[in-house]
Amino acid sequence: MGLAGGVIPLLAARHRASHRFLSLGNALAGGIFLGTGFIHLLPEASEVFEEVAEYSVATLLAAVGVGLLLLVDRVLFEVPGRSGRDKGRHEPIYPLVLLVVLSMHSIIAGTALGLESQMATSVLVMLGILFHKGSAAFALMVSVYASGAEKRRLWMVLTVFVLMTPVGIVLGTVASSMLEAQTASLIEASFNALAAGTFIYVAILDVINAEMSSYDDRVAHFVRSTLVGKDDLPMPLHDTDRIFKFVLVNVGLGSMAVLGIWL
């Protein structure tokens, strides 16, 4: 499922209409990330922490996740080059962060499956993983491709992500007799809360902001890229797909909401 979802944007990139397809896919990915953070990860983390603390620890950790990614994405790595073509150049760090976060989440999900001893519950957990894996892989690869990553790196990212769930299953099987249930649950909840903040940040400030930016902002970005020696950006046109992108953001958000009813 992960391979199937991740290959779709890579195959689409070969065609002439790939720019428009990937732009629309990026809007869909933004909705998926937004729904995953708000509807799945944050509520799951809150449910666990409510049993051990009165304070909203999950919400705090989600805010910390937003702050940490803001620091990494817009402060530490927003450093102008010294001279020439690299002056003012900024390579987005969030695709790498997404890979790490989604991979860790896949490991945790796989670990939960490996820890489960009841067949019926194992099947439900497995179905939940399969439903999420394809959409997560699609969203991840669209975002990584949009960042300008090379073809070799794209396939490396997809391979790593696909392998993470099986790795988690093995770890869960091995660790089933080593960790107490409550300890494992708190660790998973902490990560889920941090990941929720990360997904919300990426969805709003990077993905949706890029796809729904104003025409003047896109022209300014084009001019800036030309002045610093980057010629890979086309002259921006008026975005006729703006309403369609808005719909796709909500489709991605709604699909995660529907999955939340069943899983």
Structure-block tokens of residue 119: 């067949």
pLDDT digits (tens, 9 = 90+) for 171-219: 877 766 676 767 777 877 887 788 888 888 888 887 788 788 766 666 6
Single pTM value for the model: 0.69
pLDDT digits (tens, 9 = 90+) for 2-41: 898 889 888 887 776 677 777 888 888 888 888 888 988 8
What share of the chain has pLDDT > 70, as a percent?
Answer: 75
The answer, yes or no, to whether residue 49 has pLDDT greater than 90, is yes
Query: What residues does each domain of the chain span?
Result: 2-12+19-262
User: What b/e sequence results for 12-35 when a residue is b if at least 16 CB atoms lie within 10 Å of its CB, and e otherwise?
Assistant: bbeeeebeeebbbbbbbbbbbbbb
The answer, yes or no, to whether residue 63 has pLDDT greater than 90, is yes
CA–CA separation, 63 and 67 (whole Å) = 6
pLDDT digits (tens, 9 = 90+) for 134-168: 878 888 888 788 777 778 888 888 999 999 888 88
Confidence of residue 83 (pLDDT cuts 50, 70, 90): very low
